[in-house]
């Protein structure tokens, strides 16, 4: 609903989790995400069963029938299984052999890399500053385009970019919600334009919508593009439980729409030799995430694509960043 703001943990805990997970065995992170999503799925299904049972027994309004959703427990890591790292009862014998010395050298190198990456994490999180948005035209009449701008993360991007001094162009599905965000920005001394478009559509009418959106954006001097529009599962589900429509919608919105928006905006940025493109990622794209299979794959593609795109255009003044998010609660 309008006015919803996404909240999540600060940058540095998310960066720490990303750094730490990189040192865990791949099989372990896959198994953990599988168990985590199964747990979320079970709780969501139980909630649906309770709501259905309650609906059958009462004639109260929906407001009285809704059950509170349990707060997601951020200490899920406490559920991890204990790992066995083998028998190290006699380390002296291990080190006495040449193989042991080689392993010790590899271990020392690993510890050094671990320490170096930790130093980089702390430096990026607490010492180095982020991008200076004035470099991309803040308070200088340039525009920021945000997709999926009516709720959660996208809405907050729209508000913050307007506050930073960008004119904002908002693209999302619901015109009513777009107008609500437009009104929320009315106090800012910037221009706000909105465009209703359903990024999941793939028919002839959708081509007309894309054409109108492209024509409108090509008239603007765009400094920032936030590819935020995305779709996941309602609840974690096995792949065979998804309909073809659901899978195709995830691919269409998360991948195809993101690429098409970038194709529309990028030429104007290249002409100015300046621009910032932010692609919204997900923890589910960092490791294979069972029971979120298609969503996980779509976000993994965006991660690789963003890194490749950044390398392609860094010498031409374009900055491309993959925004790596973990769990986000809209409240």
Show which residues are catalytic. Answer: 295, 299
DSSP labels, 132-170: -GGGGTTTTT-EEEEESTTSHHHHHHHHHHHHHT-EEEE
Distances from the Cα of 69 to the Cα of 58, 115, 329, angstroms: 19, 40, 12
For helices 244-251 and 293-313, angle between their N-to-C axes, nearest 10 degrees: 20
Other CB atoms within a 10 A radius of the CB of residue 131 amount to 12
Dist. CA 2–CA 19, nearest whole Å: 35
The burial of 27, by beta-carbon neighbours within 10 Å (0-12 exposed, 13-18 middle, 19 or more buried), is given as exposed
CA angle 179, 180, 181 (to 5 degrees): 90
**Residue among 325, 225, 221 at smallest CA distance from 276:** 225
DSSP one-letter code for 186:
T
Cβ–Cβ under 8 Å, residues 265 and 217: yes
Three-state SS annotation for 234-283? CCCCCHHHCCHHHHHHHHHHHHHHHHHHHHHHHHHHHHHCCEEEEEECCH
- CA 153 to the chain's CA centroid: 9
Q: Which positions ≥6 away from 49 have C-beta within 8 Å?
A: none
């Amino acid at each position: 609903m309008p006015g919803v703001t996404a909240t999540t943990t600060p940058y540095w805990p998310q960066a720490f989790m990303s750094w730490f997970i990189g040192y865990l065995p791949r099989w372990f992170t896959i198994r953990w995400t599988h168990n985590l999503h199964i747990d979320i799925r079970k709780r969501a299904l139980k909630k649906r069963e309770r709501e259905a049972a309650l609906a059958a027994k009462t004639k109260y309004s929906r407001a009285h029938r809704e059950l509170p959703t349990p707060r997601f427990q951020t200490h899920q890591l406490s559920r991890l299984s204990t790992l066995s790292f083998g028998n190290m009862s006699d380390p002296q014998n291990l080190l006495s052999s040449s193989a042991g010395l080689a392993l010790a050298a590899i271990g020392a190198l690993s510890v050094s890399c671990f320490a170096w990456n930790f130093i980089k994490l702390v430096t990026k999180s607490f010492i180095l500053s982020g991008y200076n948005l004035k470099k991309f035209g803040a308070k200088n009449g340039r525009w920021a385009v945000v997709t999926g701008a009516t709720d959660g993360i996208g809405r907050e991007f729209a508000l913050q970019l307007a506050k930073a001094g960008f004119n904002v162009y908002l693209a999302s599905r619901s015109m009513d919600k777009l107008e609500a965000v437009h009104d929320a920005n009315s106090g800012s001394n910037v221009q706000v334009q909105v465009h209703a478009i359903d990024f999941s559509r793939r028919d002839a009418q959708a081509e007309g919508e894309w054409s109108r959106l492209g024509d409108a954006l090509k008239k603007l001097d765009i400094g920032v593009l936030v590819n935020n529009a995305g779709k996941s599962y309602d609840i974690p589900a096995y792949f065979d439980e998804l309909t073809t429509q659901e899978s195709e919608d995830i691919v269409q919105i998360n991948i195809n729409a993101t690429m098409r928006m970038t194709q529309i905006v990028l030429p104007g940025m290249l002409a100015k030799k300046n621009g910032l493109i932010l692609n919204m990622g997900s923890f589910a794209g960092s490791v294979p995430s069972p029971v979120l299979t298609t969503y996980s794959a779509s976000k993994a593609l965006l991660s690789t694509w963003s890194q490749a795109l950044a390398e392609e255009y860094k010498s031409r003044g374009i900055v491309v960043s993959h925004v790596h998010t973990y769990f986000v609660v809209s409240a």
